[in-house]
Structure formats: structure tokens, C-alpha cells
Amino acid sequence: MTTSKPIAALAAALLALAAAPGAHAATAVADAEALATCEFAGTLCLWDRTGFTGTRFTASPFPPGTATCVDLVEHGWGERARSAVNTSTRTMALFLTDDCTGHPYPVDAGSSQSELTIAANSAWVQ
């Protein structure tokens, strides 16, 4: 798989996010609490229930400092993720496809999403 399409799509999404206003204080507190449920640095943690509950799946790039596509279907996690935490300093993304192509659903660096609105089949971790 070539990485130019996912990188270009992710870059476009990141540019759109850069134009958005900063997070509210309540969101920052919620993010801090959620980040505590994912104790691994540089990791995307996914749960099969909303609110960071249920079974957890973790994905991180190896070696650190690289980027890779994780096929969630291959790991038994196709369309299972219901909430997410990103402990990385870089934005990660979820995709409907199993090969990180198409429109990215960003999970911002150091943030959390207690209720995902995507049936993710792959994750771009970096």
C-alpha cells in the first residue's frame, strides 16, 4: 500500500482543523479525565463502548516516530470502536475502509471522543 493518499487526506483534514477555534475549558477537563484511561504514550486507544468503557484496543506506530495504517478488521475490531483517546502529540485518524483510504475522521492529538460517529475499519497512527 502506498501512503500518499492517506497522508494527503489526513493533511487536508488537519488544515481544516487548524482553522477551528480552541477547545472549551469543559472539553479540556473531559479530555484530561479520558486520557487517564489510556496510560500509554503515543497511542490510540479504542473502546467497544461509549464513555471509554468495555474492551480496549490499543494501536501505536512501530517503530516510534513512524506512521502506519492499522487494519481494524484484521484484528477483530472492524466497526467495533465506540470511543477513542489519542495520547500522541500528533493527530491520528479513523477510516471507514480497512486500508486508511477515503475521508479521515480525525482524533486530535491529546484528545478524546466519548462517542464515535464512525464505523471505523482502519486507523492511521503516527
- All three cell numbers of 62: 512501530
Model pTM score: 0.76
Partners of 121 in the β-ladder: none
Q: Do residues 67 and 19 touch, judged by C-beta distance below 8 A? A: no
Q: Which domain holds residue 62?
A: 4-125
pLDDT at 21 exceeding the cut of 60: no
Owner of C-alpha cell 467497544 = 48
* Domains held by the chain: number: 1
Confidence of residue 14 (pLDDT cuts 50, 70, 90): very low
- Domain harbouring 75, CATH code: 2.60.20.10
Phi, psi of 39 (to 5 degrees): -80, 10
Partners of 69 in the β-ladder: 124
Rounded Cα–Cα distance for residues 112 and 35 (Å): 7
pLDDT of residue 28: 60
